[in-house]
Amino acid sequence: MLTKRIIPCLDVDRGRVVKGIRFQNLRDAGDPVEQALAYERQGADEIVFLDITASSDRRDTVLDMVKRTAYELSIPFTVGGGIRGYSDVRKVLLAGADKVSLNTSAVLNPNVISEGAGIFGSQCIVIAIDAKRAGADRWEVYIYGGRKSTGIDAVEWAKQAEMMGAGEILLTSMDYDGSKDGYDISLTRRIAESVNIPVIASGGAGNAEHMRRALADGKADAVLAASIFHYGEYTVGQVKEYLLRAGIPVRI
């Protein structure tokens, strides 16, 4: 049976992990590759790196990290953050990333989806959507790291992204992100039932039960979380044991 995926996310700034996990046996706790390997050992199904570097030396540090990660990791990983167009997509994928996640650049120029998917395949193109509630059954897409509203309906955008060749949706609820109150179940379910590609729920995880709800009630195919893993509240393995006991298929 296809299992639900548990995906830790690492925020990376200039090649260093921000808010990293405090594992004991790491030689270099700020090294994204070491952190990713630690998660792999815990049983993570995939890793997402979110590059938050603002400066212009971004590209080199990212490509170096991607190459080193591809060398060490034996599970898939996605790189997102600051991917500006097809040229960045190509560089990151050829450096060894399995997938790239596009957010602002895809909203501004949706053709980057079909261009990337046409050449590398849909499975490489993840569309990240930052959505904020704007009505009873309406969520609006935000870009530039949640700073700018677009007026675009999140459900419509998810459908358009699928049509243009996206292989997966990484859906973040801006209302719940950082709250630790759980994922936005209604948003997640709405999107998951509107598209025929996998949906990763993100934003709001505070415990393993939140993940169960996003997968069971929200119909997500995967859940992404950062802080509950970083601060050692749960290991990936502990989350999976909880989910398995609750009847959610996971890889152990």
Partner 1 sequence: MKVAVLDLGLGNLMSMKRGLERAGADVSLVNSDEGPEMGSCGTCCISGCADADAVVMPGVGSFKDGMKAISKFTATLNEIKEGKAALLGVCLGMQMLFSRSQEGGECEGLGLIKGKVVRLPMTVKVPHMGWNSISLISGNHRLTRGIKDGEYFYFVHSYYCVPEDRNTVSAEVEYGVKMPAIVEKGNVFGTQFHPEKSGPAGLAVLKNFLEEAKR
The single residue among 21, 37, 83, 93 that binds partner 1, judged by CB under 8 A, is: 93
70 binds partner 1 (CB under 8 A): yes
Task: For residue 31, give the 3-state DSSP assignment.
Answer: coil
Q: Return d(Cα 98, Cα 117) in angstroms, integer.
A: 13
* Interaction of residue 221 with partner 1, rule CB under 8 A: yes
Give how many residues touch partner 1 by CB under 8 A: 34
Question: Which is closer to partner 1, CB of 178 or CB of 249?
Answer: 249
Place of tokens 């997402």: 48
Choose the binding region for partner 1 from 19-27, 29-37, 115-123, 235-243 (rule: CB under 8 A).
115-123
Cα separation of 48 and 100, whole Å?
9
98 binds partner 1 (CB under 8 A): yes
Measure Cα distances from 144 to 9, 99, 103, 105 in Å: 19, 20, 8, 9
CA angle, corner 123, sides to 118 and 124, nearest 5? 75
76 binds partner 1 (CB under 8 A): yes
- Residue 94 interacts with partner 1 (CB under 8 A)? yes
Contacts of 64 (CB under 8 A, 6+ apart): 15
| The only residue of 167, 182, 203, 218 in contact with partner 1, by rule CB under 8 A | 167
Asked if 136 touches partner 1 (CB under 8 A), the answer is no
| Part in contact with partner 1 (CB under 8 A); list of ranges 65-73, 153-161, 179-187, 234-242 | 65-73
Q: Residues with Cβ < 8 Å from 79, sequence gap 6 or more? A: 48, 49, 51, 62, 66, 92, 97, 99, 100, 101
Q: Which of 122, 172, 188, 202 binds partner 1 (CB under 8 A)?
A: 122
Please tell me whether residue 30 binds partner 1 under the rule CB under 8 A: no
Catalytic site includes residue 11:
yes
Catalytic: 130?
A: yes
Based on the shown chain and the rule CB under 8 A, indicate whether residue 224 belongs to the binding site for partner 1. Answer: no
Nearer to partner 1, 107 or 222 (CB): 222
Q: What is the phi-psi region of residue 82: left when phi exceeds 0, alpha when psi lies from -120 to 50, beta otherwise?
A: left
Residues forming contacts to partner 1 in the complex (CB under 8 A) are 1-5, 40, 45, 67, 70-72, 74-76, 93-98, 119-124, 167-168, 196-198, 221-222, 251
By annotation, the residues acting in catalysis are 11, 130
